[in-house]
Amino acid sequence: MAPPSNFADYPEPIEGAAAIYKKAPANNPSLRGYPLLIAGNLIANVGLLQKVLWGNAGFGAIKDIPELDDPGVTPLGDHKMLDFEPELLTAKGLSNRAKYYTAADYHQMYKSGKVTPLQVASTLLPLTKKGPYADAWADTYGKDSLALEAARASTERYAAGRPLGVLDGVPIGVKDDVDVKGYVSHIGMKYKPGLPCFKEQEKTMWLIEKLQEAGAVVIGKNRMHEMGSGTPTNHHNKSYYPGGSTSGGGSALGAGFVPIVVGSDAGGSIRIPSSFNGVYGLQPSHNRTGVFEGLSMAVRGPLATSVADLTIAYRIMSQPNPDCPVQSRFGTSIPPGPNAKRVIGIYRDWWAEADPRVAAICDQAVEHFSSKRGYEVIDVSIPFISESRVAHSLLCVAEMAAKARRKTPNPADWLTLVGPANKLLLSVGQHTGAGDYIKANAMREVMMRHLAHLFQKHPGLLIVTPTTPLNGWPRVPGDETHGLSDTNLTVRNMMYIFLANLCGTPAVTAPVGYAEPDQGEGKIPVGLMAMGEWGAEEQLLGWAREAEEYLHDTYEGGRKRPETWFDVLGEAQKVEES
């Protein structure tokens, strides 16, 4: 089976070894509160303990796998941004009880003169500082004027009858590891003025430039979390975490505060918070939205409260940067034709590890895709799931440790920027040797070849799993003080999402139901995830639209909004424009 010719660096399609499913080991300590504070500082200063924990995590086992002998797959071709279909531009049911406002709703209200972008920005900005939505937003250090200036310019364009398009004046959030001119990128770390890594950014990243050129108003930077410490609110159930590390973005979307957020994903950080907050998230093919320096499994992409806005944001932010030798080669992702095969692949042993409540809701959705949407559901097998999950973790922490060292003028002080949980994680991760790193990447190649084999054998294949096996991640009293370190739960949370990060394939998550919680008030959103072939973003967005219709029209009770959902357009109409 030969690789397709319309890709650069497409893996040779080779079926992997027979799949023998192994559960992930759960032999890592769970620490929180003062024990974590003590352990983090102790382990960060004792190399022997770091090495013991590195081996305890199973990182050293990868190099011993006999089947292992800087991947990136680029779909080639001309790039012309697809036109927006009419349904993306149509405001629908503003009074619908379960509705989240879309860009089209904002656009319609702006054109009608009922509200202005400046009124919206003036409504939102004070609430990023104080109140129930403030914990989703990082400090702007007096730079709210940037959002107000953008909103005022948009208001003037609407008044003149010359808006830039559907995204003009729409408020968005940007994760705190994505650079925007004039803002500080904290990357989840405690702010220490004077350090070069906390200076105001002098340049906006390309993907944000494209959104701003389309008129989007950056309201601010969404907070990231450090392994649980001080994380934002999950508005569906405040007794649960919103997921990370795009935690602030997920929280803001779940509350309806903004319709679109830009996030990043090296270990599910777009898809997990989307799932936990009942919204949509797309991890594009790696490098599709620009090269992520220093983290070979990370990619930036959109989160949104609707698939329409997810699609609009993706198409705008994925326009190739001519100055990037990698991203500039990407061809347009093309939606499948009307007669294209529609195949869902499920690895049953893998699926079976989900919480029964999560699995039941996802099973119900897959049955709908099979019986009502014309998808053929087939069984697939994937080798080395447990081992490749270790490879993913090893590569992530090793690259995070290397990148963190570059954040301080004195590399010897690099751990002073992070809290106890990350002191523990990164100090252990720094012990990854060259041989282990090489073999982990060899595992990556094996998995990419097997996925290529599946995609070539089954045209139109989407590999479908729950987004996360967890029925939410519960908060524990005291976590807010010093955070938490629960490696076993972290690895389990990433059980399904890691493969797309390891292999660079695109994946999308869509809410498909709500499960009963174990604590607190409010049901837990449950996400279903589809992973496609490299370059299949538009196929995945089409699948997500079908999932959105299922949630609204077929799922019993339909889509749910939290009690704290914020009526942005309603409140903005009460604001006097200044």
Split at pLDDT 50, 70, 90, the class of 71 is low
Q: What is the pLDDT of residue 63?
A: 46
CA atoms of 382 and 512, how far apart (whole Å): 25
CA atoms of 506 and 289, how far apart (whole Å): 12
Of 50, 175, 27, 35, which is closest to residue 479 (Cα–Cα)?
Answer: 35
Q: Is the pLDDT higher at 95 or at 142?
A: 142
Instruction: Specify whether the CB–CB gap between 347 and 382 falls below 8 A.
Output: yes
Domain spans, the chain? 7-73+382-457, 80-377+487-572
Split at pLDDT 50, 70, 90, the class of 187 is confident
Ranges 159-168, 305-314, 407-416, 555-564: which has the least confidence? 407-416
CA atoms of 100 and 278, how far apart (whole Å): 11
Q: Is the pLDDT higher at 421 or at 340?
A: 340
Split at pLDDT 50, 70, 90, the class of 574 is very high
pLDDT in tens, 513-529: 999 999 999 999 999 99
Q: Is the pLDDT higher at 397 or at 546?
A: 546
Give me the DSSP letters along 176-213. TTS--TTS---TTSPP-TTSGGGSPPSS--HHHHHHHH
Of 501, 496, 464, 434, which is closest to residue 71 (Cα–Cα)?
Answer: 501
How far is CA 297 from each of CA 18, 189, 218, 279, rounded to the nearest angstrom?
Answer: 26, 21, 26, 23
Q: What is the pLDDT of residue 66?
A: 43
CA atoms of 246 and 277, how far apart (whole Å): 11
Q: Is the pLDDT higher at 93 or at 344?
A: 344
Average pLDDT, the chain: 90
Q: Which two tokens stand for residue 131?
A: 């109140």
Q: Which two tokens stand for residue 207?
A: 């993907």
165 pLDDT more than 50: yes
Give me the DSSP letters along 247-313. HHHHHHHHTTS-SEEEEEESSSTTHHHHHHTT-EEEEPSTTTT---TT-TT-EEEEEESSHHHHHHH
CATH of domain 80-377+487-572: 3.90.1300.10
State the burial class of residue 405 (Cβ atoms within 10 Å of its Cβ: 0-12, 13-18, 19+): middle
383 pLDDT more than 90: yes
Q: What is the pLDDT of residue 479?
A: 78
255 pLDDT more than 80: yes
Split at pLDDT 50, 70, 90, the class of 411 is low
pLDDT in tens, 474-490: 999 877 776 777 888 98
**Strand 280-283 and strand 343-346: pairing?**
unpaired
Q: What is the pLDDT of residue 400?
A: 83
Mean pLDDT of 58-76: 59
Q: Which two tokens stand for residue 268?
A: 């599910």
Split at pLDDT 50, 70, 90, the class of 75 is very high
Mean pLDDT of 224-239: 80
